[in-house]
Amino acid sequence: MGLNGEANHVAYCASKGAVVQITRCMALDHARDRIRVNSVCPGEIHTRMVDEILAKKAVIPSRICASWPPAPDAAPGFTGRGRDCVQFLASEHASYVTGANLTVDGGNDATAGPYP
């Protein structure tokens, strides 16, 4: 929600948007020190928070997992693994990556979102 807005979530979206800008600014501040600063913007990863959101909407998470493909080539449901992205960013393969806010959401950002 730092890259997109959502109704009735002003404070949450603003705090996530701040992380996006902090990442960019800190990358510039520390570039001369050869310190890379990046952030990961995860999508709908199956967490307790997601379960609580779905419960408020009377949605059973397993039904969402079985029926929601975010993009044609993406894995269905809440299968995101943010740690894969973090491992990449921490590796020497990402030595030229700094100031990036990497969206890891199975293509959801290209859709209207998973929540019914």
Indicate which residues carry an active-site annotation.
12
Contact 26, 33 (CB under 8 A): no
Contact 7, 106 (CB under 8 A): no
Q: CB under 8 Å to 62, separation ≥6 — which residues?
A: none
Q: Is the four-CA dihedral 55, 51, 64, 70 of positive or negative sign?
A: positive
